[in-house]
Amino acid sequence: MPPLSIQASALLSDPATHKVVVAGGEESRARAELRPSLRLLEDGTLAYAEPFEASEANSLMLALHWAGKAAEILLSAPDGRAWRITAAPRRYLYTGPLFQSFYREARAQLGPNSQVGGVWVLEPLKEEDAGYEARKRIEDEARPHYRYLDRSDVTPNGARA
């Protein structure tokens, strides 16, 4: 995949952005977890600290890795901007310089009792604007005759009928 867009990169670097990683597994189970440590690495991959190695979220991410499937990442800023990234888990690190940087950051932010089970490195596969206006445009194009009663006078392009 080409490098992430400027919009996605900006949201990833903004500390006010909520960063949610969703991993799904067998039997339609899915787990969404806030991962404030999620960041864009220099090589274009994404990485985040998984605090608990034995957690359900980590087990589901590992299952995605084994199955060659992707996770979803949702970035949401306080000003309403939102972005969705589909990314494949590629590596799980439990030692080395990248792991150490996440470990030191966790200790600095969460105190001496914090832990990092490992660091997931993910490869972005696709991205899309997940903000309200973008989603509304997609839904209006896909279902031009599906309108709520209070919007019955609005055409798909937004003009009044």
Let me know whether 82 and 27 are in one domain.
Answer: yes
- pLDDT single digits (tens) 24-60: 866 667 899 999 999 999 999 999 999 999 999 999 9
Q: How many domains is the chain built from?
A: 2
Let me know whether 124 and 64 are in one domain.
Answer: yes
Let me know whether 79 and 22 are in one domain.
Answer: yes
Give domain status of residue 120, yes or no: yes
Domain residues for the domain of 161 are 131-161
Give domain status of residue 1, yes or no: no
Residue 75 bridge partners (DSSP) = 19, 83
Residues 115/94, Cβ–Cβ less than 8 Å: no
- Beta strands 71-76 and 18-24: pairing type? antiparallel
The CATH number given to whatever domain includes residue 69 is 2.30.110.10
At position 61, the amino acid (one-letter code) is M
Let me know whether 161 and 103 are in one domain.
Answer: no
CA distance 41 to 140: 36
Let me know whether 138 and 103 are in one domain.
Answer: no
Kind and range of the H or E run holding 76 = strand 71-76
Let me know whether 60 and 72 are in one domain.
Answer: yes
Let me know whether 151 and 111 are in one domain.
Answer: no
161 residues of the chain, pLDDT tens digit each? 779 999 999 999 999 999 999 998 666 678 999 999 999 999 999 999 999 999 999 999 999 999 999 999 999 999 999 999 999 999 999 999 999 999 999 999 999 999 999 999 999 999 999 999 999 888 888 887 776 655 555 565 656 55
Is the whole model's pTM more than 0.85, yes or no?
yes
* Unique residue bearing structure tokens 């604007």: 129
At position 63, the amino acid (one-letter code) is A
CA distance 99 to 77: 26
Neighbours of 62 (CB within 10 A): 18
CA distance 64 to 51: 18
Let me know whether 35 and 74 are in one domain.
Answer: yes
Give domain status of residue 33, yes or no: yes
